[in-house]
Amino acid sequence: MNHDDHGHGHDDHDHHDGGHAPSTLKGYATGFILSVILTAIPFWLVMGKAFNNSSTTALVILGFAAVQIVVHMVYFLHMNARSEGGWTMLALIFTLVLVVITLSGSLWVMFHMNSNMMPTMHEMKVRP
């Protein structure tokens, strides 16, 4: 429970709603400016063909996306370890574990299925 460890234990409904800290203009502005930068750079990298190697570009823009998702979570969705007594964070971590398993598992299994089971063009030609 979210009580009494930071001065005002009860939720003051005149100022904020549902146990979230009140939003501030500074928070939204910081999040917005960071998001603009973190969006512009990947678009520039791809449209300006900054790297010759596709997989380098892919890894870099995936990194930017991950950072931008964290920025949105913190500044727009007001995620922190204390909101709702930590239950939102717990649910988020659980979901992230499932998302990672779903994505990496699907890609890994299906990639190997493709490379091991798909007939190559050569095999298809010699088939009767």
Partner 1 sequence: MSMPPELTLNPTAGADAPRYYLRDEHHPENGTLLGFWLYLMSDCLVFACLFAVYGVLGRSYAAGPSGADLFDLPLVAVNTSLLLLSSITYGFAVLEMQRKHLRATLVWLGVTGLFGLGFLSLELYEFAHLIHEGAGPQRSAFLSSFFTLVGTHGLHVTFGIVWLVTLMFQLGRHGLTAPNRRRVMCLSMFWHFLDVVWIGVFTFVYLMGVLP
Binding site for partner 1 (CB under 8 A): 10-11, 13, 15-20, 22-25, 28-29, 31-32, 35-36, 39, 42-43, 46-47, 54, 57-58, 61-62, 64-65, 68-69, 72-73, 76-77, 84, 87-88, 91-92, 94-95, 98-99, 102-103, 106-107, 110
Between 92 and 119, whose beta carbon lies closer to partner 1?
92
Shortest distance, position 123 Cβ to partner 1, whole Å: 18
Residues 64 and 40: beta-carbon distance below 8 Å: no
Three state DSSP letters for 54-105: HHHHHHHHHHHHHHHHHHHHHHHCCCCCCHHHHHHHHHHHHHHHHHHHHHHH
Shortest distance, position 128 Cβ to partner 1, whole Å: 24
Rounded to whole angstroms, how far apart are CA atoms 4 and 6?
Answer: 6
DSSP-derived secondary structure letter, 128: -
Shortest distance, position 122 Cβ to partner 1, whole Å: 18
Rounded to whole angstroms, how far apart are CA atoms 28 and 77?
Answer: 10
Shortest distance, position 85 Cβ to partner 1, whole Å: 8
